[in-house]
Structure 1
């Protein structure tokens, strides 16, 4: 069962989107407004949080930072009416796994939730690819490239390449013939070694340091 926490200040939006998500097999949704979000996330441990950006009494990106700081943070996707570059940059900078628009078709929203729950990244607005491209060159904390290459194992290179290609944890596990726990362990190790707080940041560091080139060169 995929547990979803929907955070929005408008009751009509909460009721409508909760009904859409609950109609899908294997998804269970609860909803709250911004000030309740972090407390409810602590008590219910959702797999996915869909988080509005503009809410009275709770800035969406402030809530995002708090959710990312939890001991076992959920996958958080911003859910908003606005597809602005400014908000997309902020979502990437603060570690959101996704950015969805409220006019997303119901079946696509359900698909996106399943991708997020599986460890994938989903950015829907048309300009997302260009905005995400600029984050590949954003300076991120990491040791020098030679040191990085010495610390990342061959299997971790494989996981890194698949993650940067957009595969979910489930897809990576199937491709590599390993369990989900093993994939998560590799991703956790990569985050520590590369100083990357999120999957998006991890892919950005990998591109910047040329680690994906190394992964390709190591393949038979």
Structure 2
């Protein structure tokens, strides 16, 4: 069962997201938070697999809250197309994926599953544009990393991450078990001092290894 925490300052939005997640047989909402401080506190207390996080919230915004949850839970950020500058900051803070607020129920559930599986969310509707703009406007996460620290197999896995493939698809393509792929991904993030799979995808694309 995938444990989910919903963080949004609008009660109606929280109720709707909770209803959608609880309807899925493999998801359960373990808590709700009305601001970033509460989201961090409840995530530490409840240890959800995924936090569905709004960006604009009182006391502590979703970006600052995401940065505090590194190693605690994976964060799926809720955004609108008008939130570009905020989303770039969320990327740097270690968000595992991005979801448009008007996404339908089926896509929301699928996104939570992807993030919970450690695959991140490289959504064509959001992330292609963000990757390009992030690289142009912001210091690039991991851009100064020494790729020579990676093994050849890790380079291959990084290349596949940059192409937006899931762990399962990477395993099929490279002839590895999914658990082995996850191990490689964890080592890549550690060696390159990255906080999320999305940052790894950016690095791969910027270094032309996709």
Using the size of structure 2 for normalisation, the TM-score is: 0.84
Task: Give the direction of change, closer, same or farther, for the CA distance of 1:126–1:42 in structure 2 (3 Å limit).
Answer: same
Structure 2: runs of 5 or more not aligned: none
- In structure 2, relative to structure 1, the CA distance for the partners of 1:153 and 1:76 (3 Å cut) is same
2:207 is aligned to: 209
- Alignment partner of 1:77 is 2:79: no
Please list, as runs of the form range in 1=range in 2, the aligned pairs for 1:39-188 lying within 5 A after superposition.
39-68=41-70, 72-81=71-80, 83-122=82-121, 126=125, 128-136=127-135, 138-141=139-142, 148-149=147-148, 151-188=149-186
Cα distance in 2 between the residues matched to 1:78 and 1:103: 13
Give the whole-Å Cα distance in 1 for the aligned partners of 2:185 and 2:61. 29
Give the corresponding residue for 2:40. Answer: 38
Distance 1:175 1:125, change over 3 A: closer
Kindly report the root-mean-square deviation, in angstroms, between the aligned alpha carbons of the 2 structures: 2.4
Q: Deviations over 1:21-73 (max 9, x none)?
A: 110121111322222211221222211111011112221111111112xxx33
Residues 1:15 and 1:127: Cα distance change in structure 2 (over 3 Å): closer
Q: Is the 8 Å Cα contact of residues 92 and 141 (structure 2) preserved in structure 1?
A: no
Provide, for residues 122-150 of structure 1, a one-character-per-residue CA deviation record: whole Å limited to 9, x for no partner: 365846422211334644446575xx23x
TM-score, normalised on structure 1?
Answer: 0.81
- Aligned match of 1:21: 21
Contact 1:119 1:170 in 2 (8 A): no
Tell me the number of residue pairs that the alignment of Structure 1 and Structure 2 aligns. 206
1-side partners of 2:122 and 2:108: how far apart? Answer: 12
Q: SS of the counterpart of 1:25? A: coil
Q: Which residue of 2 aligns with 1:217?
A: none
2-structure distance, mates of 1:19, 1:140: 35
Distance in 1 of aligned mates of 2:45 and 2:172: 32
Unaligned runs of at least 5 residues, structure 1? 214-220
Alpha carbons of 1:108 and 1:139: their partners in 2 closer, same or farther (altered >3 Å)?
closer
Instruction: Say if 2:145 and 2:192, in contact at 8 Å, map to a contact too.
Output: no
Paired residue secondary structure (1:6): strand
Distance 1:52-1:169 versus aligned 2 partners, 3 A rule:
same
